[in-house]
Amino acid sequence: MRIPLPLYLAGWLVVLVLALAGCTAPGPATDPDGRTPVGPVTSIAPTVTTETTDEGVTAVSPPPSTQTPALLPAEEAPAGADREFSTDFSTHTIPYTEILSGGPPKDGIPAIDNPQFISIAEADAWLEEPEPVIVFQEQGDVRIYPFQILTWHEIVNDTVGGRPVVITFCPLCNTAIVFDATVNGQALDFGATGRLRFSNLLMYDRQTESWWQQASGDAVIGELTGHQLTFLPAYIISWAEAKEQFPEAQVLSRETGFTRRYGQNPYVGYDNINSSPFLFTGETPAQLPAMARVTTVVLADEAVAYPNEVLAQVGVVNDQIGDMAVVVIWQPGLASALDSSSIAEGQDVGASGVFSRSLNGQALTFVKNGDDIVDEQTGSTWNIFGQAVAGELAGQSLTPVVKVDHFWFSWAAFQPDTRIYQP
């Protein structure tokens, strides 16, 4: 595995400084046993379900899979895991040779279990306009989770609009995903195992201590092996967009009970297009650089990756995934959380949204018109939230489709049979 030396040293300097201060950083680490992950694994492609919220918006989201992955023969637990976990390690669907230590131990990167929230006005005192945030809404309850906090905790266990959810972010794969936290009628809460697979966060639930792959939502080890968390649609946008669109939203407070350098990025320069991913030596398809940013969608049996470099050039994409006509909207103005030492000063990587382009029984076609996105059928103007803000359709909304931002190496590891969009 080739790791850029300056980045390697910078990452471990953060670990050392925070260790001396009595806390653990989620920085990069090499594997002490010299093990390497092998081969890509295909996760089960979910079918499509829809759910209508009280706002009347039907979100397209993949439900838990109804298929049961084949169990592998019993193996010894990953190094040291049997001393930290009460997990049933005899039940698993992944080879344990694919699991590497990320550096911190179990809960060394502490999840936020009792999140506190503040107003937009209060958060505006320490959030800069281009900073990335996750926006999730349920039953009229809108919550905003800044990346400057998620980078240091990776998991927030919360209840939004009465629904137990887990807000997750794996910096090494650039994957920010919101899941429904209920499995078999039981609300679960999650922590970090301190282990990685294909450089991706392995979580565990505290009820059964089963291990879950963040990128796919699959339980891969333990009692709940074979279950899959339901992906929920969320917006990854700038603070400027979030506070304008959701002025009454609640914002995750920096009063977390932990001392961290919120606003600072412990992964300085990690998303350089010429760098290499940490703790990943699998073969990455050469169509794109390993660290290329992609917007990804899985519908029915088809996985599609939209390179952000292409989206930045075209602004809008009309596509067909399975039986669904979709539109991908891109706009600039979102800072990278993995570039500069200050997240607010990160390079502009842009934001994307994916929606069904069927509205009122008609499939709309979208085009870029200057700085605006308009539909050809009515000339209405649309924003990054899939809302018509001017024209004949003003006030109407498109159905959001679950999408996940990835680095290409990460997406290809879990979805090797992916169609890469080309104009």
Give the pLDDT confidence score for residue 23 in this predicted structure.
37
Report the C-alpha gap between 107 and 154 in whole angstroms. 11
* Alpha carbon separation from 135 to 19, 144, 235, 243 (Å, rounded): 32, 5, 5, 10
Give the pLDDT confidence score for residue 301 in this predicted structure.
87
pTM: 0.86
Strand (E) or helix (H) holding 187: strand 186-187
H helical segments located in 348-418: 408-414
Give the pLDDT confidence score for residue 71 in this predicted structure.
76
Closest-CA residue to 301 (of 282, 322, 271): 322
Give the pLDDT confidence score for residue 78 in this predicted structure.
85
Report the C-alpha gap between 419 and 154 in whole angstroms. 29
Q: Which residue has the tokens 């800072």?
A: 335
Q: Which residues of the chain have pLDDT under 70?
A: 1-69, 73-74
Two tokens at 200? 């991706």
Residue type, 406: H
Report the C-alpha gap between 164 and 288 in whole angstroms. 37
Two tokens at 414? 């879990």
Two tokens at 160? 């939004």
The CA angle 36-214-291, to the nearest 5 degrees, is 60
- CA end-to-end distance (rounded Å), the chain: 34
Contact 71, 91 (CB under 8 A): yes
Q: In angstroms, how far is CA 201 from the centroid of its own chain?
A: 10
Q: Which domains does the chain have, with CATH numbers?
A: 5-34+49-252 (no CATH), 293-420 (2.102.10)
Report the C-alpha gap between 309 and 323 in whole angstroms. 26
Report the C-alpha gap between 335 and 344 in whole angstroms. 6
Strand partners, 97: none
Return the C-alpha torsion angle 135, 140, 141, 147, nearest 10: 0
H helical segments located in 187-319: 239-245, 308-314
Give the pLDDT confidence score for residue 77 in this predicted structure.
85
Q: Which residue has the tokens 């509205």?
A: 359
Residue 311 DSSP symbol: H
Report the C-alpha gap between 332 and 239 in whole angstroms. 13
Contacts of 371 (CB under 8 A, 6+ apart): none
Report the C-alpha gap between 319 and 212 in whole angstroms. 31
Give the pLDDT confidence score for residue 19 in this predicted structure.
33
